[in-house]
Structure 1
Amino acid sequence: MLKLEQLEKTYRTGDKALTGIDLTVPDGQVLALIGPSGAGKSTLIRCINRLVEPTAGRVWLDDLELTRLSATGLRNARRQMGMIFQEYALVERLTVMENVLSGRLGYVGFWRSYLRRYPQADVDEAFRLLDRVGLLAMADKRADELSGGQRQRVGICRALIQNPKLLLVDEPTASLDPKTSRQIMRLICELCAERGLAAIINIHDVALAQRFVQRVVGLRAGSIAFDGAPDRLSPEVLTSIYGEEDWEATSQQAEDESEGAE
């Protein structure tokens, strides 16, 4: 279980990105984080694994308080938090298999990783994950030969081979077409269900979030403006998160685009 208590982030410029965030995410729950640009979504995800240091508050993963860990303790704790990035963060010159196995770096150490000396169990798991996401035949291809959707699947495998307790997912569909976006969201949710994984997905596409996740949290100006089931995202609620918009027309347009891409 992930728990945030009064989490805050203020940058050196004085800009307050997060204010008093209280949030609990149980094991197995997939949560979508929505909100306008600058609302604090990416900052919130990065404060959890301390890629961005919180200014105040506490973050717990089960009984481990992440916000009080030393550098060594944090390095070990990050093994339990898989990260999936918007821009994939793959090493272009490496193969698909090598990129997936890089997710084991926190376990095998730099030199064994550099020399490609991974335990056979790790290699077997990488093959199994690539098979699960439909990329087994591309294990030996270089990452720069892949499409955007294929790259994101490699990123998913790299995160999962850590055997994490939590997935932190930052705009996984921002660079993808509508059909591929649905495939990636469906895949993430299925894998979380199979493994009992909690996930927080920062996503800009409200309709996509409503279609796939169990819970939606809306941020506005660094504070939680909504926390509930996707079907409670009424036009009034969306207006409170994003501001004035013809939400019924926007929802219909998204639905038409989705049907056209099927």
Structure 2
Amino acid sequence: MLTLSGVGKRYPTGDRALSDIELSLPKGQVLALIGPSGAGKSTLIRCVNRLVEPSEGRIALEGCELTRLSGAKLRQARRAMGMIFQEYALVDRLSVMENVLSGQLGYVGFWRSFLRRYPAPAVAEAFRLLERVGLSHAIDKRADALSGGQRQRVGIARALLQNPRLLLVDEPTASLDPKTSRQIMRLIRELCAERELAAIINIHDVALAQQFADRIVGLRAGRIVFDGKPQALTAEILTTIYGEEEWDTRVADEADETPTTTPASLTLGVAT
């Protein structure tokens, strides 16, 4: 579905963020990107939808080479890629419903969006999505009156209103407490399964990545140093990704989770 071939990014300063990225993502797969700060995770996600321009290589989505597109054709291709941001990217003074409906901007254009003239089917779908993400009670609330978890749910609903085939998710749990983080990751995972969406999730929490992703890719200094199943992560591999540390391996013990096929989680810890 999504293919990256030889993708690299070098900034005008000369700093290289990505080098020779080779990656294929099939339909319906949830992939977690892990790695230390500065490893290139956010840059990789933004290269896919061209918010950051790759310096070299090819990126193709369902046979369409994104790196060759510009103007209206690029805007059209971006409809297929829903973006969920770390800092939510909501308009605080607008209501929850208005923020969700902004996900139609790529279809209705700026002026119809500005004048709130959305097609009736899009409005009906926004209502359905807000119910699905658990915010049907907050439709008329201003975005700045929401908690962090609620704001992230609005961002998820907005991305899905694009009717995307790929989700690009940048640090969805960075500002959330542990319980809310699990809820948000579980919601993203369930929605991907329901809609057969592929997803790339940039995430720092290794345990959450193991619990909710089908596949994990580890980046270090802009290069892929691991690509495999969550259960294949070992202390040695994590050291390769993050550098020397004391890795404590333990089985996830989530009191509010129904046991599934969750792999053993690996968390960064200090020996006691």
For residues 261 and 165 of structure 1, the distance between their equivalents in structure 2, rounded to whole angstroms, comes to 28
Match of 2:150 in 1: 150
Compute the displacement of 1:255 (Å).
4.6
Q: Could you tell me whether the CA contact under 8 Å between 1:179 and 1:261 is conserved in 2?
A: no
Matched ranges for 1:32-47 at <5 A: 32-47=32-47
Deviations along 1:148-170, one digit per CA (max 9) or x if unpaired, are 00000000000000000100000
Q: 2:51 aligns to what SS in structure 1?
A: coil
Q: 1:89 aligns to what SS in structure 2?
A: coil
Compute the displacement of 1:202 (Å).
0.1
Match of 2:266 in 1: none
Match of 1:55 in 2: 55
RMSD: 1.5
- CA 212–91 in structure 1, closer or farther in 2 if over 3 Å, else same: same
Count of matched residue pairs? 258
Match of 1:9 in 2: 9
For residues 142 and 180 of structure 2, the distance between their equivalents in structure 1, rounded to whole angstroms, comes to 20
For residues 31 and 252 of structure 2, the distance between their equivalents in structure 1, rounded to whole angstroms, comes to 21
For residues 170 and 247 of structure 1, the distance between their equivalents in structure 2, rounded to whole angstroms, comes to 25
Q: 1:13 aligns to what SS in structure 2?
A: coil
Query: Does 1:132 find its partner at 2:126?
Result: no
Deviations along 1:82-141, one digit per CA (max 9) or x if unpaired, are 000000000000000000000001101111111111111000000000000110010010
Match of 2:164 in 1: 164
Report the AA paired with residue 49 of structure 1. Answer: N
Seq. identity, %: 73
Report the AA paired with residue 201 of structure 1. Answer: I
Match of 1:245 in 2: 245
Compute the displacement of 1:59 (Å).
0.2
Match of 1:31 in 2: 31
For residues 261 and 191 of structure 1, the distance between their equivalents in structure 2, rounded to whole angstroms, comes to 18
Match of 2:265 in 1: none
Structure 2: which 5+ runs fail to align? 259-272
Match of 1:181 in 2: 181
TM-score by length of 1: 0.96
Q: 1:124 aligns to what SS in structure 2?
A: helix
Compute the displacement of 1:261 (Å).
10
Q: Could you tell me whether the CA contact under 8 Å between 1:76 and 1:106 is conserved in 2?
A: yes
Compute the displacement of 1:200 (Å).
0.1
Q: 1:116 aligns to what SS in structure 2?
A: coil
Structure having the higher helix fraction is 1
Matched ranges for 1:86-235 at <5 A: 86-235=86-235
Q: Could you tell me whether the CA contact under 8 Å between 1:101 and 1:122 is conserved in 2?
A: yes
Q: 1:36 aligns to what SS in structure 2?
A: coil
Compute the displacement of 1:72 (Å).
1.5
Report the AA paired with residue 214 of structure 2. Answer: Q
Larger RCO (CA within 8 A; separation ≥ 6): 1
Q: 1:208 aligns to what SS in structure 2?
A: helix
